[in-house]
């Protein structure tokens, strides 16, 4: 398949998932809570986790149809984390629209998150009525690790001794874990052998790291239009990203002093754009952006290598293409 | 068995559940999150839902041992709702101690709630590795209804046209649903017949209503020491309880005017104790407290009647005793 064919297949899969998502939504009351849930689930987005789950199912010989409800489940779980994280981070926009707690209020957002998690389980447990136990256990492990990752992320905001190893431990839980759970769940649903399940889980783990590193990178190299929010948000918030931690370890003199202020959240009274440009310039000068790019490519290659143990198929080719597309994405 | 024997059995069961709870707790990081989870799970309390689940299992011929993990699950789920509700209600104390968001902060409390829900599923899915699906589906249905009940409760705070029928619809979801899920899950785990499962679910439904009405009543008739928080909190917050809605429908003249202010959250600048005493006096004068007491007894009798289809046993006697004890409780 060529790139255009891959794109068509991806668009078709996303449309299929969005259609299923609408029918698995919530019909409860009151209206605010129902609207909040639809607002989140209907926001579009790349559907990374559900697409990966369905393709992983197909890659081991399963059908897309049997993986759709579990695909919805990981997507709903992911959105649950976004809605609650946005409350915790006081984020005002996501995907170019106001966050739930800004559009409604914090209490509604808290409950929207809780309901999304309930919907995730409802849809997963409806899958394969025979034995949803192993899938639900997998998703629960991911849920607990994602919470742990978010708690570590918040703790790092208050700490001044965060290392790059700490950073990787955190993103592995906060971002990598659910992506790996998605590919693993897909392989289980498709009836993969234990070796195939392990391979697809490994694919998700490496891809998850690459994906988060790319996210950190896009915060400074993408445009506001592409991001759906102002550029350099991580810098302004002093988020301990791979970029900031790596640069802080390398810089000396005035650069080091400025990064130290950014890390401690005591940056001197510069205008936002001046600060962001200044720090981005430091990143460039110390080769941090290239280094991130290099690591992203390395993790992506490791991910694609894991696919070697899966029989070649359209789905496994799609997985490799999708990994590449995520790494070259602009938003 | 006499009352003392029932009490001993209840204490033993609670100790068993508390012990199991400690081993099913969370070992993740960071420390704040781990401490927050232990703080909530170790707070004691009556363990109403887990005790009911275990007794329901025994009442249809199952053993307590096989129900302990599901018992922990409903208890953890209940505590998840309490921690999130306390954030939404800005509650400062619970069970005589600061709430999680007061003791730590809102972000930690939000995540403590999320982790407790994860623990609920982890422990439930670990139960009976064969087929936890039906149990997990039951718990998920309860989770979604409890969220809906809480959302309705918050919506009622903003509405001035809440009826007593609305109130019952809300508490059935917010309080009744999880209690009924607990008794139903216990009956399923114990291998009850469909009729027995229905009977124990019905027992939980009636008991749940009685329990919530008793909760409303205790807010004005218990002491601050018994409640672990100041008396009359519902009145001060203008909560649309059975008492307030019933009194508002009956009162005329000055009484009606004051209750209208309480309902709309515009009570005149009275001292808290004066307002609480005044409204309680109105409740008394209009027979509202007696009426609540009467309904509580009626629901409790309906609950106990449901046990008629279960073979007589120590466990079913315990269930009847426990229902009575809950209704006569002072806190």
Average pLDDT over residues A206-226: 93
List the CATH code of the domain at B3-317.
Answer: 1.10.600.10
- Residue B202's alpha-carbon distances to A35, A255, B187, B195, B300, in angstroms, are 32, 69, 11, 10, 11
Q: Do A133 and B129 touch (CB under 8 A)?
A: yes
Please state the φ and ψ torsions of residue B97, each to the nearest 5 degrees: -130, 160
The answer on pLDDT for B330 being more than 80 is: no
Q: Do A121 and B132 touch (CB under 8 A)?
A: no
Q: Residue ranges per domain, chain A? A: 3-327
Q: Do A148 and B84 touch (CB under 8 A)?
A: no
The answer on pLDDT for B174 being more than 80 is: yes
A268 at B interface, C-beta within 8 A: no
B30 at A interface, C-beta within 8 A: yes
Structure tokens at A193: 């052998």
The answer to whether A50 and A17 are in contact (CB under 8 A) is: yes
| Of B88, B111, B155, Cβ closest to residue A151 | B111
Structure tokens at B104: 């730590």
- Residues of chain A contacting residue B131, judged by C-beta atoms under 8 Å apart: 131, 133
DSSP letters for A6-50 = HHHHHHHHHHHHHHHHHHTS---SSHHHHHHHHHHHTS----HHH
| Of B107, B121, B148, Cβ closest to residue A121 | B121
Number of Cβ pairs closer than 8 Å across A and B? Answer: 124
Average pLDDT over residues A25-32: 89
* pLDDT digits 0-9 by tens, B212-244: 999 999 999 998 888 877 899 999 988 999 999
Q: Do B147 and A29 touch (CB under 8 A)?
A: no
The answer on pLDDT for A129 being more than 60 is: no
- Least confident segment among A3-7, A209-213, B44-48: B44-48
Q: Do A133 and B111 touch (CB under 8 A)?
A: no
The answer on pLDDT for A226 being more than 90 is: no
| Of B30, B84, B132, Cβ closest to residue A151 | B30
The answer on pLDDT for A208 being more than 80 is: yes
Least Cα separation, residue B169 to chain A (angstroms): 11
Closest-CA residue in chain A for B112? A147
Which pLDDT band holds residue A67 (cuts at 50, 70, 90)?
Answer: very high
Least Cα separation, residue A155 to chain B (angstroms): 7
Q: What is the pLDDT of residue A130?
A: 58
Q: Do A133 and B137 touch (CB under 8 A)?
A: no
Which pLDDT band holds residue A43 (cuts at 50, 70, 90)?
Answer: confident
Least Cα separation, residue B170 to chain A (angstroms): 11
Least Cα separation, residue A320 to chain B (angstroms): 32
Q: Is the pTM of this model over 0.90?
A: yes
Q: Do B155 and A32 touch (CB under 8 A)?
A: yes
Q: What is the pLDDT of residue B226?
A: 84
The matching CATH number, chosen from 3.40.50.300, 1.10.600.10, 3.40.50.360, 3.40.50.150, for A3-327 is: 1.10.600.10
Q: What is the pLDDT of residue A329?
A: 78
A147 at B interface, C-beta within 8 A: yes
What whole-number percentage of chain B has pLDDT above 90?
83
Closest-CA residue in chain A for B129? A133
Give the residue from A87, A79, A77 showing the smallest Cα distance to A107.
Answer: A87
B154 at A interface, C-beta within 8 A: yes
Average pLDDT over residues B56-70: 97
The answer on pLDDT for B128 being more than 60 is: no
Please state the φ and ψ torsions of residue A27, each to the nearest 5 degrees: -110, 15
Q: Mutate one of B30, B81, B100, B127 to test the A interface: name it (highest A CB count within 10 A).
A: B30
Q: What is the pLDDT of residue A127?
A: 61
Hunting for tokens 């019909």 — which residue is that?
A27
B10 at A interface, C-beta within 8 A: no
Beta bridge pairs of residue B93: B98
The answer on pLDDT for B257 being more than 90 is: yes
A91 at B interface, C-beta within 8 A: no
Q: What is the pLDDT of residue A267?
A: 75
Q: What is the pLDDT of residue A269?
A: 80
Least Cα separation, residue B75 to chain A (angstroms): 17
The answer on pLDDT for B129 being more than 70 is: no
**Residue predicted with more confidence, B25 or B208:** B208
Q: What is the pLDDT of residue B88?
A: 95
A30 at B interface, C-beta within 8 A: yes
| Of B107, B129, B136, Cβ closest to residue A125 | B136
Average pLDDT over residues B54-75: 97
Average pLDDT over residues A302-331: 93
- Least confident segment among A236-240, B110-114, B177-181: A236-240
What whole-number percentage of chain A has pLDDT above 70?
98
A121 at B interface, C-beta within 8 A: yes
Sorted by sequence, the CB contacts under 8 Å of residue A258 that are 6+ apart come out as A267, A268, A278, A279, A282
| Cα-based angle B203, B174, B191 (whole degrees, multiple of 5) | 35
Give the rounded distance of the alpha carbon of A87 from its chain centre. Answer: 17
Residue A61 DSSP code: T
Structure tokens at B218: 């205790």
* pLDDT digits 0-9 by tens, A68-116: 999 999 999 999 999 999 999 999 988 889 999 999 999 999 999 999 9
């Amino acid at each position: 398949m060529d790139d255009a064919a891959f794109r068509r297949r991806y668009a078709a899969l996303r449309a299929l998932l969005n259609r299923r998502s609408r029918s698995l939504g919530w019909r409860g009351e009151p209206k605010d809570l129902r609207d909040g849930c639809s607002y989140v689930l209907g926001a579009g987005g790349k559907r990374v986790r559900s697409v990966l789950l369905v393709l992983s199912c197909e890659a081991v010989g399963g059908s897309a149809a049997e993986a759709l409800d579990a695909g919805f489940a990981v997507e709903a779980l992911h959105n649950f984390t976004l809605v609650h994280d946005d409350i915790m981070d006081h984020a005002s926009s996501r995907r170019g629209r106001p966050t739930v707690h800004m559009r409604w209020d914090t209490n509604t957002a808290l409950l929207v998150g809780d309901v999304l998690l309930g919907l995730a389980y409802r849809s997963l447990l409806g899958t394969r009525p025979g034995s949803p136990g192993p899938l639900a256990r997998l998703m629960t492990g991911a849920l607990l690790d994602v919470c742990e990752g978010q708690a570590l992320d918040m703790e790092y905001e208050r700490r001044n001794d965060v290392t790059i190893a700490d950073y990787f431990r955190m993103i592995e839980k906060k971002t990598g874990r659910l992506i790996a759970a998605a590919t693993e769940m897909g392989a289980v649903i498709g009836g993969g052998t234990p070796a195939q399940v392990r391979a697809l889980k490994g694919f998700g783990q490496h891809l998850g790291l690459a994906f988060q590193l790319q996210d950190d990178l896009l915060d400074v190299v993408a445009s506001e239009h592409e991001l759906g929010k102002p550029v350099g948000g991580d810098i302004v918030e002093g988020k301990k990203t791979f970029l900031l931690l790596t640069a802080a370890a390398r810089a000396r003199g005035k650069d080091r002093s400025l990064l130290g202020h950014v890390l401690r959240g005591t940056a001197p009274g510069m205008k936002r754009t001046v600060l962001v440009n200044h720090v981005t310039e430091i990143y460039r000068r110390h080769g941090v952006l290239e280094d991130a790019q290099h690591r992203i490519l390395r993790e992506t290659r490791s991910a694609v290598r894991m696919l070697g143990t899966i029989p070649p198929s359209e789905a496994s080719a799609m997985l490799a293409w999708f990994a590449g597309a995520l790494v070259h994405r602009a938003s």
